[in-house]
Every structure is written in structure tokens, then in C-alpha cells.
């Protein structure tokens, strides 16, 4: 017996795309709000689909609009919570992609603002899983033609894990637009750990070219083993500058807080975090409330549902990522290059 009535999303029949239009855009229910934002930015309605759950926890998802010979894009962010785990969302997405291909879709592109398991891209201990590679195999097994995501932990490992086409969009383009509004004479880009140095340097170089003036650089040291973080080294000239700490995600916020304190001790006038994905796990509210950190800027790839009212939430600024993903979809649809979106 079914545990609930089916959930349908998409445009009413009067607004559905005409039969001659072979592009379809779906957004699964867990990411419906973000999907509607992408649809508005694209200037087209979401296609309709059905999601149905059963009493034993199983589920099915099927398109209600025709997808035969269509170029299909499916939006689903794969973060855990608030109602479904990352595994639940991944399973629904994979099954839906399989259903679309079975229904005759000519091409299916997964639009995944936040990609689960992207941090587990190599073995750090004996017999560790390389989960990102297994993830790629699952997407390919159901017939996925391309995967588009925002700011993965390691772009090279992500590309190597998939045999289908992959597009990893840097969040830098969003953060550069924000940085231009600051009006600060002195900016310094800080990597919170050595592993993020390349990401920070690419952002610094692009920001320097955009502003047409020098932008400083710095990095903080961090070593993680068995969940324990250590390292106190800070290198760079941030004295009197606004320090922009660039990272791919916030989990507990400890790394950002450590970098912010180090930048302050080195003389930074203020510290702003620029982070693509805000997971805000347990402890993040306390860490981000640290007075060394003035503002935390994230995208809406993951809604900040774990971050309640308080000092950390008051510092939060959320940048919409839907326009960037909509532009990417439009270019993929038309076969136009993405090079300027990826040049960070």
C-alpha cells in the first residue's frame, strides 16, 4: 500500500513546453525551490513529474511530460537533510535518470549543485573506498550523459572519476561579483589550508584581473588526522587588508575560524569567508560566531537549515547560484562553449 499521495511538480498543462520544443527541465521535490529558480532564470517552465513513496520506504519517480528524443536536464542537490539523506536523494535521482532514458530521452544531464561524496576522492588509509569513482560508475550505469556541479572538492579527481561528460563550475564568478562591491583598497585572498592553495590562487588571479590592481595572497597551515586538526603556520601579508578566506565548503566551521583568527593576528582589518557550500554541521554556529570572522558568504547550493538564529546566522550572506547553472544549461542546450565560466 502507498504511504502517501503522489507528489507532482512542474507547470500546469497550459504552460508546458510546446511539442516542438525538445528540451525538458525537471527538478526533484527535494530541490524544488532551487529548481524553480533555475527555471525562472532560463525563462521556461519546469516539466511535470510524479514522485511516489511506499510504506516500506521504497519509491518511484517518473516523468509526466513526454521526453522521447528530448534533451533533458534534472536538478537535484545531493546534500543530506532536512527531510531526506544524501543517499535518498542520490537514489531518487539515479532512478529518475534511468526512467528518463527508458522513456526515450536522447540526452540526460544531471544538474547537481552540491555533489555528495565528492570529498572521498582518494585513499587516505589502508583499504579506504574511493567513493567518488563509485559514484561516477552509478551515474554512468543508468545512462547519464553529463553531470554538472558547482565547486567540487577536487576538480581533477572529479573529472577522472567519470567517463561521461563532467562540468564543475567554480563559485569564483559569483564571489568576484561580490568582491567588487566591497570597495576596499587592499584585499588579500587566503587559503585556509595548503590543499586549497590552488583554488585560492586561481580566484586571486581572476580577482586581480577583474579589479585591475594587485590582490595579496596568504595561506594558513592545517593538518588533519583521525578528526584532529593541528597547525599554526600563517604566511602572507594581510596587515591592514580585508582578508577573503576562500574554500569549497563549510562543515563544522573550525577550519574557517582558525584561518580567520590567524589572519587577524597577522593584522587583517577584517575577515570575510567566501565558501561555495554551507553544510553547517554540529559546532558550526559556535565556530562561525568567532569575532575574528566578520562575514560568511555562501551560495544557495545547500539551504542553511541547520543554522539557527544567532551570531553566525547574522553574519551569513547567501548568493544565488541558479543564474549560473541556468546559463550553463542554455549553453549546453545550444552547443555553446563554457570556457569563460570555467576560467577560474
Unique residue bearing C-alpha cell 559514484: 135
Helix (H) or strand (E) holding 96: helix 86-102
Between CA 135 and CA 138 the distance in angstroms is 5
Q: DSSP string covering 196-236, please? A: GHHHHHHHHHHHHHHHTS--EEEEE--EEETTEEE---EEE
| CA–CA–CA angle 108, 42, 72 (5° rounding) | 10
Q: Which residues pair with 178 in a beta bridge?
A: none
Pairing status of strand 71-75 against strand 7-9: unpaired
Between CA 195 and CA 219 the distance in angstroms is 10
Find the catalytic residue in 89, 101, 222, 315. Answer: 222
Q: Return the C-alpha cell found at 175.
A: 564571489
Burial class (CB in 10 A: 0-12, 13-18, 19+), 270: middle
* Number of other residues whose CB lies within 10 A of the CB of residue 153: 22
Q: Identify whether 222 is a catalytic site residue.
A: yes
Q: For residue 210, report the phi and psi dihedrals to the nearest 5 degrees.
A: -70, -45
Nearest to 138 by CA among 164, 159, 167, 112: 164
Residue 10, sorted as left (phi over 0), alpha (psi -120 to 50) or beta, turns out to be left
Q: List the catalytic residues.
A: 222
Amino acid at each position: 500500500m502507498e504511504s502517501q499521495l503522489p507528489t507532482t511538480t512542474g507547470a500546469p498543462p497550459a504552460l508546458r513546453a510546446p511539442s516542438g520544443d525538445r528540451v525538458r527541465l525537471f527538478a526533484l521535490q527535494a530541490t524544488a525551490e532551487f529548481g524553480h529558480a533555475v527555471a525562472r532564470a532560463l525563462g521556461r517552465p519546469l516539466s511535470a513529474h510524479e514522485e511516489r513513496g511506499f510504506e516500506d520506504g521504497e519509491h518511484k519517480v517518473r516523468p509526466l511530460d513526454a521526453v522521447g528524443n528530448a534533451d533533458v536536464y534534472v536538478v537535484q542537490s545531493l546534500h543530506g537533510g532536512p527531510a531526506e539523506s544524501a543517499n535518498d536523494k542520490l537514489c531518487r535521482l539515479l532512478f529518475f535518470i534511468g526512467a528518463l532514458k527508458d522513456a526515450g530521452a536522447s540526452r540526460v544531464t544531471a544538474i547537481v549543485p552540491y555533489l555528495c561524496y565528492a570529498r572521498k576522492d582518494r585513499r587516505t588509509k589502508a583499504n579506504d573506498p574511493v567513493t567518488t569513482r563509485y559514484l561516477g560508475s552509478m551515474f554512468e550505469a543508468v545512462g547519464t550523459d553529463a553531470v554538472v556541479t558547482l565547486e567540487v572538492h577536487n576538480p581533477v579527481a572529479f573529472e577522472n572519476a567519470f567517463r561521461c561528460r563532467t562540468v564543475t563550475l567554480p563559485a569564483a564568478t559569483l564571489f568576484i561579483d561580490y568582491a567588487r562591491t566591497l570597495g576596499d583598497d587592499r584585499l588579500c585572498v587566503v587559503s585556509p589550508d595548503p590543499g586549497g592553495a590552488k583554488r585560492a590562487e586561481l580566484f586571486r588571479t581572476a580577482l586581480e584581473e577583474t579589479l585591475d590592481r594587485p590582490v595579496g595572497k596568504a595561506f594558513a597551515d592545517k593538518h588533519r588526522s583521525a578528526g584532529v586538526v593541528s597547525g599554526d603556520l600563517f604566511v602572507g601579508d594581510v596587515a591592514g587588508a580585508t582578508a577573503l578566506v576562500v574554500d569549497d565548503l563549510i562543515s563544522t566551521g573550525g577550519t574557517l575560524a582558525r584561518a580567520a583568527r590567524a589572519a587577524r593576528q597577522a593584522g587583517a582589518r577584517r575577515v570575510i569567508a567566501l565558501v561555495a557550500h554551507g553544510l553547517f554541521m554540529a559546532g558550526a554556529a559556535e565556530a562561525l560566531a568567532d569575532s575574528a570572522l566578520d562575514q560568511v558568504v555562501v551560495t544557495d547550493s545547500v539551504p542553511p537549515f541547520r543554522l539557527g538564529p544567532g551570531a553566525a546566522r547574522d553574519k551569513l550572506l547567501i548568493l544565488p547560484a541558479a543564474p549560473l547553472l541556468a546559463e550553463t544549461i542554455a549553453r549546453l542546450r545550444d552547443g555553446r562553449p563554457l570556457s569563460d565560466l570555467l576560467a577560474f
